[in-house]
Amino acid sequence: MNWIAIGTLSDIPRRGARCVATPQGKIAVFRTADDQVYAIDDHCPHKGGPLSQGIVHDAAVTCPLHNWVISLETGKALGADEGSVRTIPVKVEGERLFLALEALASRAA
């Protein structure tokens, strides 16, 4: 697995996110209240809202446009809504964060 460095944990506020531009599109990287880190496409499965600007609660994010709730663990819409986004493996080494480049490449192929 090839990992690409995307900065450090402290670059992302707790219950916040950062949008990372990659060759395979924009990825939203989230940090939960208990410092878990998740990465999913920054593109809501409803109408493409920027999930990195949503509200993080537990291991989910609420889309800023029409309030769909997306699981950060599975990328799936929760509740009555149907749809999903790609999840990207994240590795945390000390303070440093990495995304799985091969997962990005193979899923885009």
The residues of the shown chain that bind ligand FES, judged by CB under 6 A, are 44, 46-49, 63, 65-68
Minimum separation from the CB atom of position 78 to ligand FES (A) = 12
Beta-carbon contacts of residue 104 (< 8 Å; ≥ 6 apart): 22, 23, 24, 27, 88
For residue 30, give both structure tokens. 């989230």
Query: What is the distance between the alpha carbons of residues 59 and 32, in angstroms, rounded to a whole number?
Result: 7
Minimum separation from the CB atom of position 36 to ligand FES (A) = 22
Q: Whose structure tokens read 């109408």?
A: 47
Q: Measured from the CB atom, is 12 or 63 closer to ligand FES?
A: 63
Q: Measured from the CB atom, is 38 or 68 closer to ligand FES?
A: 68
Q: Measured from the CB atom, is 50 or 89 closer to ligand FES?
A: 50
